[in-house]
Structure 1
Amino acid sequence: MKAEIKIENCPEPYAIIYTPEINKEVQRILSYMQQNTQTLIGQKEDRQYVLFINEIVFVQVKEEKTYVYTMNQMYRSKQRLYELKQILGHDFVQISKSSIVRMQACESVEVDFGGVLVLHVKNGLKTYVSRHYLKNFKKQIGL
């Protein structure tokens, strides 16, 4: 495999892999890069904060803005939901078109009117699991 590094003024390292197919070597490199992204930047008021991935419990998009929740705080992220889902990895499961949650942060679930599943997150947040994502969610948490 050939590699090229360009030094440029950008907010964080960014990699592009050109390949005719995703083989074991490419998959190994992708996994390594995703696992070693241990932080991301969250904004609150006029400040930017370094957020450790293991502190994040929930990500939600509201009014086209992405919010990242920890146990005690809420931050705004410039990244889109699908980008955060890739960065956060397999510890997170998508529960709706606009939300992903850390599986270990799920406290309880209850059935609401019409069979809608209500998810209680350990930080006190309450959200709904969309019917479209319900089957995968149940599989992920072992229901």
Structure 2
Amino acid sequence: MKIQLQVDEKYQELEVEIRTPQYDQHVEQIMRQLQAPQKIEAYRDQKIHMLHVNDIIYIYSEAGKVYFQTEVEELLTKLKLYEVEKIFSNDFVRINKSMLVNLNHIQHMELNILNATRLVLSCDFTVPVSRNYLKLLKQRLGIGGQS
């Protein structure tokens, strides 16, 4: 991949141009990353917080509400889990019916005797991985071949 930067005062805003011989998954991933928002609104104590995506360790749904978990606090969003999943599809992966994890916060995976899989995330948060989502998780992490 070749990257060029041109700085010129004639431009009024940032402009990105992609030139490629074919449209493939790599190009699609780059485009999604460029288009993805870096911050999202979240609520706590009657205040609206602008939360940076990298600060979110995992997102979960409980009792019809969706929460963002950071290292220090839990914040509420008005979005549904599937909406958040679509918005942050590059940074997060679903690991069970009610949870998304930030790929950048995964430290390691653990398998126990009963073949149950758990992820250990930053701040030593441990979360279960459903067998239904294990293949997708491995694909997103680029591990395990085609298993």
Aligned residue number for residue 73 of structure 1: 73
Relative to structure 1, is the Cα distance of residues 44 and 34 closer, same or farther in structure 2, using a 3 angstrom cutoff?
A: farther
Please report how far the alpha carbon of residue 36 of structure 1 lies from its aligned counterpart in structure 2 after TM superposition: 4.8
RMSD, aligned CA = 2.2
Aligned residue number for residue 137 of structure 1: 137
Identity of aligned residues (%): 25
1:81-127 Cα offsets, whole Å, 9 max, x none, are 11111111212111011111111101121113421101111033211
Write the distance in 1 (CA, Å) between the matches of 2:97 and 2:110.
Answer: 20
Please report how far the alpha carbon of residue 66 of structure 1 lies from its aligned counterpart in structure 2 after TM superposition: 0.4
Aligned residue number for residue 42 of structure 2: 42
Write the distance in 2 (CA, Å) between the matches of 1:117 and 1:133.
Answer: 10
Point out 4+ residue stretches in structure 1 off by more than 3 angstroms. Answer: 31-34
Contact 1:34 1:87 in 2 (8 A): no
After the TM superposition, which residues 28-107 of structure 1 pair with which residues of structure 2 at under 5 Å, given as runs? 35-107=35-107
1:93 alignment partner AA: V
| Alignment coverage as a number of residue pairs | 115
In proportion to residue count, which structure has more helix? 1
Q: Which blocks of at least 5 consecutive residues in structure 1 are unaligned?
A: 1-23
1:22-50 Cα offsets, whole Å, 9 max, x none, are xx8xxx8xx57982522211111222211
Q: What TM-score do you get using the length of structure 2 for normalisation?
A: 0.69
Q: What TM-score do you get using the length of structure 1 for normalisation?
A: 0.71
Secondary structure in 1 matching 2:67 = strand
Q: Which blocks of at least 5 consecutive residues in structure 2 are unaligned?
A: 1-22
Write the distance in 1 (CA, Å) between the matches of 2:134 and 2:32.
Answer: 30
